[in-house]
Amino acid sequence: MQPWYVYLLNCQDGSLYTGVAVDVAKRFAAHQAGKGAKYTRAHPPESIALILKCANRSVAQKLEYAIKQLSVAAKRRLIAGETAALAERFYCDADGIWLIASPNNAAEAIPGDASELAV
């Protein structure tokens, strides 16, 4: 299975956009062409600020939602490498893959997704 990614875009007006995709470069091109999300049609993106590799689609969507709940300042700190705002619910393993944290800090067990963890 292909990995999923959460990405943050810097928009021309200084705002940030957060999304998920399997192919971030292709999705970024779609945003730039005006064929992406409604938000990026009104706030054209100028660069990719951050890409986070996730274990699977479920993790990517949950991480995207969590990031969208952060303040702009917290998102900018995340882009700068500070992950404390996400530490209660997510963690990044030794391979750079984001996972959902459980009380004992193990990956969320998702039936049928074991193959996706071996990316």
Q: pLDDT, tens digit, for every residue of 17-31?
A: 999 999 999 999 999
Q: Is 90 exceeded by the pLDDT of residue 111? A: no
Query: What is the number of structural domains in the chain?
Result: 1
* pLDDT tens-digit series, residues 74-86: 999 999 999 999 9
**Rounded CA gap, 32 and 46, in Å?**
8
* pLDDT tens-digit series, residues 43-75: 999 999 999 999 999 999 999 999 999 999 999
**What's the pLDDT score for residue 104?**
61
CATH value at residue 102: 3.40.1440
**What's the pLDDT score for residue 60?**
97
Task: Please list the alpha-helical segments (H only) found in the chain.
Answer: 24-32, 38-42, 57-68, 72-79, 114-117
Q: Is 90 exceeded by the pLDDT of residue 112? A: no
Residues in the chain, how many?
119
Evaluate the CA torsion angle 45, 48, 50, 56 in order and state its sign: positive
Distance from the Cα of residue 34 to its chain's centroid: 21
CB atoms within 10 A of CB 71: 9
* Mean pLDDT, the chain, whole residue set: 87
Q: Which domain, by its residues, includes 85?
A: 4-117
CB-hemisphere CA count at 13 Å for 60?
23
Q: Is 90 exceeded by the pLDDT of residue 99? A: yes
